[in-house]
Structure formats: structure tokens, C-alpha cells
A and B are shown apart, each in its own frame.
Chain A
Amino acid sequence: QKEVEQDPGPLSVPEGAIVSLNCTYSNSAFQYFMWYRQYSRKGPELLMYTYSSGNKEDGRFTAQVDKSSKYISLFIRDSQPSDSATYLCAMAKDSNYQLIWGAGTKLIIKP
């Protein structure tokens, strides 16, 4: 079993829809949770960074962490075609910050 599970998709939704992306994990030692966005042939771009449990909002993006369920989510409101990309979740246990990655979910926003 992988430490971090993420559905690779693709996930296709119409423009303007609310998108929900998720990851589950097995190691309760993870404390830091991140979402990265990666466009084709580009490096990942940090979207959201969360420590421990709770919600964090930044513009159209909301990250949720539920440590009791070992489940994290990224919500995108008012989705745009420019949001079409692969979204990777990543987690870290401690200050060494070796990231454990999900497989990435390919998101397609249809105009």
C-alpha cells in the first residue's frame, strides 16, 4: 500500500463548477500538507500549504485537512479552463521536509 493515495483521473468538469480533489494517507506522522499544481512540461507550483488539521482558503482555493480520517482535500470554486492541470498532493513528517507525493490528479475544465 502506498503511503499517499490519489486518484490519477482524469477528472473532467464544466467551467464554473466546484472541483473537489482528494488524497488519503496511511501514516499518522504526517504534519505538513501541500497541494501543487503542475502544467504540462513545467515544474510543480505550490498552491496551498497547511500545517496540521483545519481549513485554509486562498482566493478560489480551499484546502482541508482531516487528520482523524487521514484525508485531505483541495476545493476549487468557479473553475476556469486555465485551472486544467495536474494537481499533486504532498506531505511531510518533519522539518527535514522530504515530501511524500500522491500520484497526481489530471483535471480538465471544459469551456
Chain B
Amino acid sequence: GAVVSQHPSWVICKSGTSVKIECRSLDFQATTMFWYRQFPKQSLMLMATSNEGSKATYEQGVEKDKFLINHASLTLSTLTVTSAHPEDSSFYICSARDPGGQEDTQYFGPGTRLTVL
């Protein structure tokens, strides 16, 4: 099946710093990637949808200037949490759509746990 990787898997940073999370599709080209965040014992919350070469579409309530998304290639999307604060601590998960696969759906990365001190 389609494989999606994320890096880093775990990051701790000080309040006010910026953190970049990478999402890569390893064995397919992903025209569309998605970024989610998940709080403990809750379901996934879609933050934004990014299409290669164009600006990301953010969900209502998600600050686009705080969560910068870049989808510069068909295999790489990045999420940068700018000026992170403790309330940004969460589990961030990306997914990528494999339109050429047998099952045209989203495949998820392993997630990145962000802790802001």
C-alpha cells in the first residue's frame, strides 16, 4: 500500500519558536495532502488541504499565518507552526491522496507529537 512518512516523530520546543514538520509520500505522487491535528482521546480535526503548486485551503478557525503550509512538490508538504505556544501542543498528522492507487483515498503518516514548553 501507499506509504507516507513524517519527520520528526516527536519534537519539544520553547514557546515563541517555530517548528517545521515534513510529510512525504514515499512511493506515489500526491497531488493533494491534508494536515490534521488530534487531541488526546479525540478524533482527527482537519486543519488544511494543500494541493501541489497552489495555496493551501484552511478550515474555519485555523490561522493560516500561524500554520504555514507549503506543498512544493508532488511528494513533499511541510507544516510550519510559527511562534508556537503551549496551546499548540498536539499530535499533528498528515495524509496524502493516492489518485493512481487501487483505492483512491487518504493514506496517513505516523504523526508528529509537538510539545511546546
Q: Do A and B bind each other?
A: yes
Determine if B8 is an interface residue (Cβ-Cβ < 8 Å).
no
Chain B contributes a number of interface residues (CB within 8 A of A) equal to 25
B101-117 CB mask vs A (1 if < 8 Å, else 0) is 00111111111010000
Chain A contributes a number of interface residues (CB within 8 A of B) equal to 21
Give the contacting residue for A41; candidates B95, B107, B113; CB below 8 A. B113
How many whole Å from A93's CB to the nearest CB in chain B?
13
Residues of B within 8 A of A25 (CB): none
Residues of A within 8 A of B93 (CB): 43-44
Residues of B within 8 A of A104 (CB): 43
A45 to B43, CA, bound (A): 14
Residue among B43, B49, B91, B110 with max Cβ neighbours from chain A (10 Å): B43
Residues of A within 8 A of B44 (CB): 44, 88, 101
Residues of B within 8 A of A102 (CB): 43
Decide: A103 and B43 in contact? CB cutoff 8 A.
yes
A41 to B9, CA, bound (A): 10
Decide: A44 and B108 in contact? CB cutoff 8 A.
yes
Determine if A32 is an interface residue (Cβ-Cβ < 8 Å).
yes
Question: Given the known A-B contacts A43-B110, A44-B93, A97-B97, are A88 and B104 also in contact in the complex, defined by CB atoms under 8 Å?
Answer: no
How many whole Å from A49's CB to the nearest CB in chain B?
4
Determine if A60 is an interface residue (Cβ-Cβ < 8 Å).
no
Decide: A45 and B32 in contact? CB cutoff 8 A.
no
How many whole Å from A60's CB to the nearest CB in chain B?
18
Determine if A68 is an interface residue (Cβ-Cβ < 8 Å).
no
Decide: B110 and A34 in contact? CB cutoff 8 A.
no
- Chain A positions within 8 Å of B, measured between CB atoms, are 8, 32, 34, 36, 41-46, 49, 88, 92, 95, 97-99, 101-104
Q: A43-B93, A43-B95, A46-B1 are in contact. List 11 more A-B contacts (CB 8 A).
A: A32-B105, A34-B105, A43-B108, A46-B105, A46-B107, A49-B103, A49-B105, A88-B44, A92-B105, A98-B34, A98-B46
List 15 A–B pairs whose Cβ atoms lie within 8 Å, in order of A's numbering: A34-B105, A43-B95, A43-B110, A43-B111, A44-B44, A44-B93, A44-B108, A45-B108, A46-B1, A46-B105, A49-B103, A97-B97, A98-B49, A101-B43, A104-B43
